[in-house]
Amino acid sequence: MSLEIKVPTVGESISEVTLSRWIRKDGEFVEMDEVIAELESDKATFELTAEAAGTLKTIASEGDTLQIGAVVCSIEESSAGGTKPEADAANESVEDADSTSTAQSGKSESLEIKVPPVGESITEVTLSKWLKNDGDQVEMDEQIAELESDKATFELTAEVAGTLHYIAKEGDTLEIGAVVCSISKGAGSPAPKSNGESPSKESAVKAVPDRAPSYAAGTPSPSAAKILSEKGVDPASVNGSGVGGRITKEDAQKAQAARTQTQGAGPAEPVKPEAKAQVSVSVSSGNRNERREKMSSLRKTVARRLVSVKNETAMLTTFNEVDMKPVMDLRSKYKEKFKDKYGVGLGFMSFFTKAVCEALKEFPSVNARIDNDEVVYSDFADISIAVSAPKGLVVPVIRNAESMTLAEIEKAVLTLAGKARDNKLTIEEMTGGTFTITNGGVFGSMMSTPIINAPQSAILGMHNIVERPVALNGEVVIRPIMYVALSYDHRIIDGRESVSFLVRVKQLLEDPARLLLGV
C-alpha cells in the first residue's frame, strides 16, 4: 500500500515552501514520525515527517518550490513489517532499554516553554541566543535564552527545573505563543542495575557495536549549508556541535574563519610552467571574499518603517543655520559649576530639547499626528532622542520634557543612552514620543534630510559645528555655525508653520536667555 506525503499547512500567510534538503534517501526504510526532509519558507524552516513506516519513494527534488498540499513523496508500507535494517533493530533495542530505565527511574513529564507576550504592538520575536545548551539541567526561573524584537531584547526563563530540550534554533523568527523549547521534569538518574534486571541503555549500545549513527551527524542546517557552500568548505571537514552532531550556523562560521586563516598562513602554491601565461593575464589581486549576515529583527523593522514613512507621508525638509557661539560661551562659563552641582555635563542636547519644547508650544501642529481621519494634538512634549546602539538605531523617549530643567534633561539623556548601549531599554522607554531630535553631527555630518519617526509628524536634525565666515553688523566674522534641518509631514504642517518653527528654535539658541525668560 502506498501513502502520499504532502506539504502540510505551516502558517496562514504561507502559500508555498521550498524543499531544501532530503534527510532520508530514496529507497530507504523509514519509521513512522521519522524526519525525512526539511522544508523552508520565507519565515522559517520546517521538518517533514513520515506518516507511516515503510520504504521512501521521493517525488520532489531538492530546491523545488511546492504549493501547500503538493505531494512530496510516497511511502510503500510493508505488509510483513519485518524488513527493517539491522541498525534500526539495534536502535529499537536501545529505545526499549531506555524506556525500561525510564520506567525504573520514574515517569518524566515535559513542559513546553512558549514565547510570552512582550508588548501590545509586538507580534513576533527572534531567538537571538541560547544561554544554556541542549540537554543541560536548568533551575526554575533560570535564564535560558534571549529573545529580540524590533524594539528591545528580552530574557526567556525556565518555568520549572529539569532538562532543557531545544525546539527552535538561534535566528528563528517566532510568533507570540510559539513553542521555543521543552523542559523534562521529574526524570531522575537510572536505578542501579541488579542481576535480574533488563540491560541498561549503555549495555544495549555495547551489545550492538555497529549501530548506525544519527542521520543528523555531519549534516549542515540550511543556513550552515549556505555558508559552507559560499566559502567552498566541505561539510565532511566540519565537526557538528548541534543535536545529533548536526552542523550549526556557528560551526560553519568557525570553519569559514579557520579556512581563511589557513589560506593566509600557508605558503603560496608554486605556479606551474604551463599556467604562467594565464597568471600574467589576471588583473585582480588580494582578498575578494564576501560574507552574508541575516538581518536582525531590529534592522528589518527599521527598514520597513522607513520605507513606509517615505511612501505614506508628504515629507518635506526645511533648513536654517544657527550661530552656536552664545550657547558655547555659556557652556564654557558654567560647565564646571554645572557638573559639580548636578553630577552631569552640560551638553548641546539639553539646549536643543528645551528650545524645541518652547517652539512646540507656539506651533502645536508640529507636535501633532494623524490618526485615520483625525489630527491628534498633544499638550505635552515627549521628545524622542535618536541613539546609535550596537544593534542599530533606537529612539528612547524623554517624557514631559517641557516641564524639565536643563539638568533633568541631561540626566535623562545620559540614562537612556547608557541603556541603549547595553541593550537594556524597555518597551515603555521606546514607545510613544511626539517629536524626535537626531544628531548626525557627532559623526561629522554637515547636512542631511532626516526621515520622520512615524506616527510623529516632524523631526529635527542637528549637524556638525564648523567655523564659517558670516556677515555680522556689516563685517565678516568667523562664527561656529550649525546647519539644522526640519523634516515634516506636509499633510498637517504647512510651510509657514515649519519655517516659523525652525526660526523660533534658531532664535532661542542664539539668545539662550530667552529660554529662561520665556520670550
Distances (CA, A) of 183 to 109, 139, 155, 230, 430: 8, 10, 16, 36, 33
Contact 183, 158 (CB under 8 A): yes
DSSP 402: G
42 in active site = no
Tell me how far apart the alpha carbons of residues 399 and 404 are, in angstroms, rounded to a whole number: 9
Q: What is the 3-state secondary structure (H, E, C) of 468-509?
A: EEEEECCEEEEEEEEEEEEEEECCCCCHHHHHHHHHHHHHHH
- The values of phi and psi at residue 389, to 5°, are -100, 165
What is the rounded CA–CA span in Å between residue 354 and residue 358? 6
Separation between Cα atoms, residue 390 and residue 421, nearest integer Å: 6
* Catalytic-role residue among 26, 33, 141, 490: 490
> Cell triple for residue 304?
520597513
Candidates 42, 329, 422, 494; catalytic one = 494
Cell of 486: 526640519
Q: Which amino acid is at 118?
A: V
Tell me if residue 490 is catalytic: yes
Q: For residue 336, what are the contacts with CB-CB under 8 A and spacing of at least 6? A: none
Q: Is 9 exposed, middle or buried (0-12, 13-18, 19+ CB in 10 A)?
A: exposed
Query: What's the CA gap between 285 and 268, in Å, rounded?
Result: 14
Whether residue 302 contacts residue 391, with contact meaning beta carbons closer than 8 Å, is answered with no
φ/ψ region of 293 (left if φ > 0, alpha if ψ in -120 to 50, else beta) reads beta
Alpha-carbon radius of gyration of the chain? 32
The answer to whether 346 touches 415, Cβ cutoff 8 Å, is no
Burial 190-201 (b: 16+ CB within 10 A, else e): beeeeeeeebbb
φ/ψ (deg, to 5) at 299 = -65, -40
Q: Please, what's the largest Cα pairwise distance for the chain?
A: 109
- Please give the positions annotated as active site: 490, 494
